[in-house]
């Protein structure tokens, strides 16, 4: 059996991901993990366009990760083999869906920070995503050999920006270019590196000038973790010396409870530190057994909850978390097995869609390479071939024991572009290609503009749409012309209004009669909520869903400029019906009319909302005036600035509509030394004068 398919017991499996802000060194760290575990024999560097895990052409050209890559490797700690199923995720905010779907199925994560920058905006975003799924984490302060690399400043940044309980397990020996190794505060030994590849690693005594510092931080570490284990707490309070095993046991309990986050450090690029991290991934991160059972709904009875344990003898339960199109084997469905097993050639039940699917082949993955295996068992991650209807977030299970797990929710797109093929002959190819890409990417939306008939693609940012257009050309041989980027505006109301809607038609034969009275009010916590307050049967029960359906159709396009309506609650409180003439269609039309008319009334006062981005700009301090001026000229609100070494960082909120071309402008005014990053923050009302311009532009 090859190494990739080698079996270990479930308690020795670690399903983990590497998450971070862009350029923190995630992919470089992944390469080191593959190198030291023997998966690769030559290090590929991101900056040379040769990283194993960045296998897409676009990733190698741009030096960024776009799609999460999965791999399986093995590592031995204290003579015991551990199997690592590793997913390297993107750092750029435009590809946040890749992080979201990976964290949904992983048992643990390593959050990488650039120690010269501390906690950056996307670090906070991925941290919150991991919080949402309750994923235990280790923190790795990378780039200590880089100018400005500083573990202690990184610790200050973690305190102020993440506000979590943590303590360093390693301290650096030397700073910046003098970084030689680390002190392990559990073993109380120095680990030094004597060659460029990190193969000549020696365990030594702690340098004399660091002994007191190491004792101080070891005491702080034990103080933080003692409460997670009663026996350790007793010994600690009694002033007794703790063993390595006791410290590790207490720390692991804190990690598994997602209450404590151990901090490691090193420099992946110069091969100092990743080897120690590999040991602690095995010793501290959870196995599928530690993460325990999963709970889902019975699709036949939504009220009933079902629990499945990570056991190969239980019925099959698993989640499809990603779709990819492989040129050699076709549609691949990335799959995590929570219980039971899945075998090639078998049938499975998609409980999300209510359909049976056949598995033709099963693969274990290494970036874009594959190894075929006969089955996947509880706790494993692999890829399935043959599934036709399964999409991201669907549950696959045993048909005789159905269960539906919670799916994966993705952010709404904020930017759109019209696309059309350069030749008429490519029209069908374009539709087919976009269909496949949308299948892969849940944050890509493909729609048709009703007025112009153009295909419109919507995504998470300019880079996201650029990559999609690039993939159309390279992977599907479809050249397209594109329109200017369009912002995804929304419409909402500001006040409460009551409105009547009547639809009556008499034209020979059976007539049409629908009559509703609704109250429309702001609902900041939800996009839309429908409340039925009908009593006494003034509208029969069978027409209530028709009213809701009519309103849902109406909110697809608002009354100002045709954008979707959000943050509204509609209460149906009165109306009437006709014994003969009332129908589903009549109540849909009456409800839609009432909603549209109500939005136009002064109490409701419909307004446009625009996406606001949280922007962070890093630049040399001498350009502060120019950078602030550029933000203010784009309707930005400056929230503050902070000094990080010899650079300044400006924090602001700026409308997305004003951010097109901003990267180019910042590079221009800072002589190429400034770099912005941005992520979606919230929707906010558009100023009245700009709202008028947008409405006029849409009506032309």
Give pLDDT tens digits for 8-48.
888 999 989 888 877 777 778 877 887 777 765 554 444 34
Share of the chain above pLDDT 90, in %: 39
Any alpha helices (H) in 477-560, and if so which ranges?
544-554
Give pLDDT tens digits for 42-75.
544 443 434 434 333 443 343 333 344 567 888 8
- Report the CATH superfamily, name and number, of domain 312-397: Translation factors (2.40.30.10)
**700 Cβ partners below 8 Å, 6+ apart?**
none
Q: What does the alpha-carbon distance between residue 520 and residue 430 come to, in Å, rounded to a whole number?
A: 41
Q: What does the alpha-carbon distance between residue 122 and residue 131 come to, in Å, rounded to a whole number?
A: 14
Q: What does the alpha-carbon distance between residue 542 and residue 166 come to, in Å, rounded to a whole number?
A: 57
Q: What does the alpha-carbon distance between residue 383 and residue 394 come to, in Å, rounded to a whole number?
A: 14
Q: Are 295 and 28 in contact (CB under 8 A)?
A: no
Q: What does the alpha-carbon distance between residue 414 and residue 462 come to, in Å, rounded to a whole number?
A: 10
What is residue 562's predicted lDDT score, i.e. its pLDDT?
86
Which residues are registered as beta bridge partners of 325? Answer: 331
List the CATH code of the domain at 3-290: 3.40.50.300
Q: Which tokens is 384 given?
A: 């399935």
How do the residues of the chain divide into helix, strand and coil, expressed in percent and rounded to 5?
A: 30, 35, 35
Mean per-residue pLDDT, 594-604: 91
What is residue 526's predicted lDDT score, i.e. its pLDDT?
87
Domain 609-699 falls under CATH 3.30.70.240 = yes
What is residue 53's predicted lDDT score, i.e. its pLDDT?
40
Assign 508 a pLDDT band (cuts: 50, 70, 90): low
Distances (CA, A) of 74 to 45, 70, 83, 88, 322: 21, 14, 5, 16, 24
Find the angle CA(498)-CA(503)-CA(505) to the nearest 5 degrees. 165
What is residue 552's predicted lDDT score, i.e. its pLDDT?
94
Torsion-angle region of 229 (φ positive above 0: left; ψ -120 to 50: alpha; else: beta):
beta
Residues in the chain: 700
Per the listing, tokens 């087919």 go with 432
Give pLDDT tens digits for 509-538.
678 899 999 999 999 888 899 999 988 889
Give pLDDT tens digits for 331-361.
888 888 999 999 999 999 999 999 999 999 9
DSSP state of 269: T
Q: DSSP states of 588-630 as a string?
A: HHHHHHHHHHHHHSTTT--EEEEEEEEEEEEEEGGGHHHHHHH
DSSP state of 239: T
Question: pTM surpassing 0.75?
Answer: no
Mean per-residue pLDDT, 135-141: 95
Q: Are 393 and 321 in contact (CB under 8 A)?
A: yes
Examine the pLDDT at 235 and tell me if it is beyond 50: yes
Examine the pLDDT at 652 and tell me if it is beyond 50: yes
Where are the CATH 3.30.70.870 domain residues in the chain? 415-488
Examine the pLDDT at 639 and tell me if it is beyond 50: yes
Q: What does the alpha-carbon distance between residue 58 and residue 90 come to, in Å, rounded to a whole number?
A: 13
Q: What does the alpha-carbon distance between residue 551 and residue 530 come to, in Å, rounded to a whole number?
A: 9
**463 Cβ partners below 8 Å, 6+ apart?**
92, 94
Q: What does the alpha-carbon distance between residue 698 and residue 574 come to, in Å, rounded to a whole number?
A: 35
Q: Which of 522, 662, 498, 486 is nearest to 575 (CA)?
A: 498
Per the listing, tokens 């050699």 go with 328
What backbone torsions phi and psi does residue 59 show, to the nearest 5 degrees? -70, -40
Angle between helices 274-284 and 26-36 in degrees, nearest 10: 80
Q: What does the alpha-carbon distance between residue 6 and residue 8 come to, in Å, rounded to a whole number?
A: 7
What backbone torsions phi and psi does residue 374 show, to the nearest 5 degrees? -80, -25
What is residue 509's predicted lDDT score, i.e. its pLDDT?
65
Where are the CATH 2.40.30.10 domain residues in the chain? 312-397
Per the listing, tokens 């020979």 go with 508
Q: DSSP states of 655-700 as a string?
A: EGGG-TTHHHHHHHHTTT--EEEEEEEEEEEPPHHHHHHHHHHHH-
Mean per-residue pLDDT, 487-509: 87
Q: Are 123 and 265 in contact (CB under 8 A)?
A: no
Strands 341-343 and 355-358: unpaired
Assign 264 a pLDDT band (cuts: 50, 70, 90): very high
Where are the CATH 3.30.70.240 domain residues in the chain? 609-699
Strands 381-385 and 415-421: unpaired
Give pLDDT tens digits for 97-112.
667 767 778 899 999 9
List the CATH code of the domain at 491-600: 3.30.230.10
What is residue 246's predicted lDDT score, i.e. its pLDDT?
93
Q: Which tokens is 540 given?
A: 């029969």
| The listed CATH number (2.40.128.20, 2.40.50.140, 3.40.630.10, 3.30.70.870) that belongs to domain 415-488 | 3.30.70.870
Q: Are 141 and 115 in contact (CB under 8 A)?
A: yes
Torsion-angle region of 637 (φ positive above 0: left; ψ -120 to 50: alpha; else: beta):
beta
What is residue 211's predicted lDDT score, i.e. its pLDDT?
94
- How many CB atoms neighbour CB 461 within 10 A? 24
Where are the CATH 3.30.230.10 domain residues in the chain? 491-600
Assign 2 a pLDDT band (cuts: 50, 70, 90): very low
Per the listing, tokens 């045993």 go with 398
């Amino acid at each position: 059996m090859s190494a990739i398919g080698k079996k270990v017991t479930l308690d020795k499996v670690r399903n983990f991901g590497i998450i971070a802000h862009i350029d923190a060194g995630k992919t470089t760290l992944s390469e080191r993990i593959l190198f030291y575990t023997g998966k690769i024999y030559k290090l590929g560097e991101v900056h040379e366009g040769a990283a194993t895990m960045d296998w897409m052409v676009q990733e190698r050209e741009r030096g960024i990760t776009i799609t999460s890559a999965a791999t399986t490797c093995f590592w031995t700690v204290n003579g015991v083999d551990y199997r690592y199923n590793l997913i390297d995720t993107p750092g750029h905010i435009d590809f946040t869906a890749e992080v979201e779907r990976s964290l949904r199925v992983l048992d643990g994560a390593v959050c990488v920070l650039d120690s010269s920058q501390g906690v950056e905006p996307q670090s906070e975003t991925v941290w919150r995503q991991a919080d949402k799924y309750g994923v235990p984490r280790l923190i790795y302060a990378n780039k200590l050999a880089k100018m400005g690399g500083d573990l202690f400043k990184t610790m200050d940044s973690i305190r102020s920006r993440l506000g979590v309980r943590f303590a360093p397990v390693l301290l650096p020996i030397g700073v910046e270019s003098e970084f030689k190794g680390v002190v392990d505060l559990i073993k109380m030994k120095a680990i030094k590196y004597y060659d460029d590849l990190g193969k000549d690693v020696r365990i030594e005594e702690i340098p004399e000038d660091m002994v007191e510092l190491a004792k101080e931080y070891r005491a702080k570490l034990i103080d933080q973790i003692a409460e997670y284990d009663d026996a350790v707490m007793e010994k600690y309070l009694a002033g007794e010396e703790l063993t390595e095993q006791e410290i590790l046991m207490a720390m692991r309990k804190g990690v598994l409870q997602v209450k404590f986050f151990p901090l490691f450090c090193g420099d992946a690029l110069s091969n100092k530190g990743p080897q120690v991290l590999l040991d602690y991934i095995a010793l501290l991160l959870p196995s599928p057994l530690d993460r325990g059972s999963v709970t889902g709904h019975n699709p036949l009875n939504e009220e009933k909850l079902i629990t499945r344990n990570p056991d190969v003898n239980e019925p099959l339960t698993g989640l499809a978390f990603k779709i990819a199109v492989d040129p050699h084997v076709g549609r691949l469905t990335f799959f995590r097995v929570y219980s039971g097993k899945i075998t090639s050639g078998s049938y499975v039940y998609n409980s999300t869609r209510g359909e049976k699917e056949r598995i033709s082949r099963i693969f274990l993955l290494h970036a874009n390479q594959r190894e075929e295996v006969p089955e996947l068992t509880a706790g494993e991650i692999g890829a399935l071939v043959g599934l036709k209807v399964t999409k991201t977030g669907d549950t696959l299970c045993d048909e005789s024991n159905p269960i539906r797990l919670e799916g994966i929710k993705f952010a709404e797109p904020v930017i759109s572009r019209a696309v059309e093929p350069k030749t008429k002959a490519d029209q069908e190819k374009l539709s087919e290609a976009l269909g496949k890409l949308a299948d892969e990417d849940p944050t890509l939306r493909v729609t048709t503009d009703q007025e112009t008939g153009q295909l419109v693609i919507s995504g998470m940012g300019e880079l996201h749409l650029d990559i999609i257009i690039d993939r159309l050309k390279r992977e599907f041989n479809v050249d397209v012309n594109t329109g200017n980027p369009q912002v995804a505006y929304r419409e909402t109301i500001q006040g409460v209004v009551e409105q009547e809607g009547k639809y009556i038609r008499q034209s020979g034969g059976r007539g049409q009669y629908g009559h509703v009275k609704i109250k429309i009010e702001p609902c900041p916590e939800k996009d839309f909520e429908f409340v039925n307050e009908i009593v006494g049967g003034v509208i029969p029960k069978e027409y209530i869903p028709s009213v809701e359906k009519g309103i849902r159709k109406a909110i697809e396009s608002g009354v100002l400029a045709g954008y979707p309506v959000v943050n509204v609650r509609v209460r149906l409180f009165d109306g009437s019906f006709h014994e003969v003439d009332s129908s589903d269609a009549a109540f849909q039309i009456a409800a839609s009319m009432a909603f549209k008319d109500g939005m136009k009334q002064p109490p409701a006062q419909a307004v446009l909302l625009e996406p606001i981005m949280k922007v962070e700009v890093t630049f040399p301090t001498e350009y502060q005036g120019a950078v602030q001026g550029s933000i203010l000229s784009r309707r930005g609100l400056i929230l503050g600035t902070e000094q990080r070494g010899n650079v300044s960082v400006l924090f602001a909120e700026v409308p997305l509509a004003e951010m097109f071309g901003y990267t180019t402008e910042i590079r221009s005014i800072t002589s190429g030394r400034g770099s912005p990053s941005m992520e979606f923050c919230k929707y906010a009302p558009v100023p009245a004068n700009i709202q008028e311009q947008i409405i006029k532009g849409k009506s032309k």
